[in-house]
């Protein structure tokens, strides 16, 4: 039990707990066997349940398998700076002869991003996350980077983006992560980002359109458009168009657009049911920050649906996601009233590392959800 406790695996249920004198071990190819130190024998079946088990998935993020001078395999946890001869995947074994699956939900509201990605290796995958220096974008980028993906943080503020890169590298020094400049409020910046990315001559397997502005006072961008509309929707729309050829060449690839349930509380049609373009980029007299945000999120969903219709035959899928009700983040920072409201609501909101799964999280849609 001391070895189990050291590897963080001492929390076992009563059915799988081994009798006194037994030890659980693994082979190099992932099968579990049991050693009886009293009778000096080994067997494949669990001494209590009679089940055979095997390892599920790859090593957790930050772990590596090494071999010592005697040829014995051991495991290194780079995150917590420790080593053990006990395979950390023993906490995630599966039956060799699994029973019929049930309808039980696999994840719930307390599931973290790291638990969703447990045992998955994204080495060789390239992921771009906009607005990744904080909040949902940062947690998404970090989760993928710590599981082997090459992650690019596309951010407006390079100082904060570089700090985010350092935080990720601080958790795992081998993470492949970098920051690139992207200001969605300037279409020229979007164009420059796309050109710089293409110059790297790499694939693009996942594009997470996460960056967003909320509760901004009315203003126009250098392109002459209302800022919330351009940052939340039009900038991402342009970015996807510029990178569309790379996505198609990298198929299977995915676009994930972070939207919001607030899209339900608005409309972009006029009284005759036709699209009213003046509502997308309103004048100062017709502007209300919350309504502008809701409309931009509705545009996100319409865009994602049409993008999926057009590109899915070419191997590129698109999903719009709602990250969760009352997700606490820093998106409210632009007006003190919203900051006060979010602060009062914080005890009842979810943290950044506890996003709901189902189809409403960027991570689930990016790699785990079917086409």
User: How many other CB atoms are there within 10 angstroms of residue 235's CB atom?
Assistant: 27
Q: Is the dihedral of CA 167, 168, 172, 177 positive or negative?
A: negative
Paired tokens of 110: 């307390």
Alpha helices in the chain (DSSP H): 2-6, 113-116, 135-145, 158-171, 187-199, 227-229, 235-249, 277-280, 289-311, 336-345, 362-363
In Å, how far from its chain's centre is CA 261?
19
Q: Which residue spans within the chain are E strands per DSSP?
A: 22-26, 32-36, 41-43, 53-55, 63-67, 73-77, 82-84, 93-95, 126-130, 150-155, 176-181, 206-209, 253-258, 316-321
**Selected catalytic residue, list 34, 61, 293, 328:** 293
Q: Is the dihedral of CA 229, 234, 236, 239 positive or negative?
A: negative
Widest pairwise Cα distance in the chain? 85
Q: 244 φ, ψ to 5°?
A: -60, -40
* Peptide bond before residue 29 is cis, with ω within 30 degrees of 0: no
Strand partners, 177: 151
User: How many other CB atoms are there within 10 angstroms of residue 228's CB atom?
Assistant: 31
Q: Is 293 a catalytic residue?
A: yes
Paired tokens of 297: 């999120």
Strand partners, 318: 255
| Euclidean distance between CA atoms 66 and 77, whole angstroms | 11
Catalytic residues: 293
């Amino acid at each position: 039990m001391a070895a189990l406790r050291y590897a963080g695996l001492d929390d076992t249920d009563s059915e799988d707990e081994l009798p006194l004198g037994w030890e659980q071990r693994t082979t190099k190819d992932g099968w579990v066997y049991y050693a009886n130190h009293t009778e000096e024998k080994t067997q494949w079946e669990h001494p209590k349940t009679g089940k055979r088990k095997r390892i599920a998935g790859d090593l957790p993020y930050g772990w590596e398998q090494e071999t010592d001078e005697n040829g014995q395999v051991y495991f290194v946890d780079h995150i917590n700076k420790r080593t053990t001869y006990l395979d950390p995947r023993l906490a995630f074994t599966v039956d060799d002869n699994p029973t019929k699956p049930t309808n039980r939900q696999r994840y719930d509201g307390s599931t973290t991003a790291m638990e969703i990605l447990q045992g998955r290796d994204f080495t060789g995958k390239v992921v771009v996350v906009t607005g990744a220096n904080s909040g949902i974008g940062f947690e998404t980028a970090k989760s993928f980077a710590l599981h082997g993906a090459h992650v690019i943080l596309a951010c407006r503020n390079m100082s904060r983006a570089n700090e985010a890169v350092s935080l990720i590298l601080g958790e795992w020094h081998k993470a492949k992560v970098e920051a690139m400049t992207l200001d969605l409020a300037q279409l020229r910046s979007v164009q420059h980002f796309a050109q710089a990315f293409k110059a790297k001559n790499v694939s693009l397997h996942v594009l997470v359109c996460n960056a967003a502005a909320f509760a901004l006072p009315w203003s126009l961008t250098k392109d002459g458009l209302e800022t919330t509309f351009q940052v939340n929707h039009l900038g991402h729309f342009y970015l996807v168009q510029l990178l569309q050829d790379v996505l198609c060449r990298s198929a299977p690839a995915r676009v994930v657009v972070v939207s919001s349930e607030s899209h339900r509380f608005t409309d972009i049609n006029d009284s005759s049911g036709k699209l009213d373009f003046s509502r997308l980029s309103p004048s100062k007299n017709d502007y209300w920050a919350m309504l502008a945000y809701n409309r931009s999120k509705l545009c996100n969903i319409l865009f994602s649906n049409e993008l999926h219709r057009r590109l899915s035959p070419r191997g590129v899928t698109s999903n719009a996601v709602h990250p969760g009700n009352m997700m606490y983040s820093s998106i409210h920072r632009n007006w003190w009233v919203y900051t006060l409201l979010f602060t009062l609501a914080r005890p009842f909101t979810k943290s950044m590392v506890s996003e709901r799964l189902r189809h409403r999280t960027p991570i689930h849609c990016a790699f785990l959800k079917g086409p």
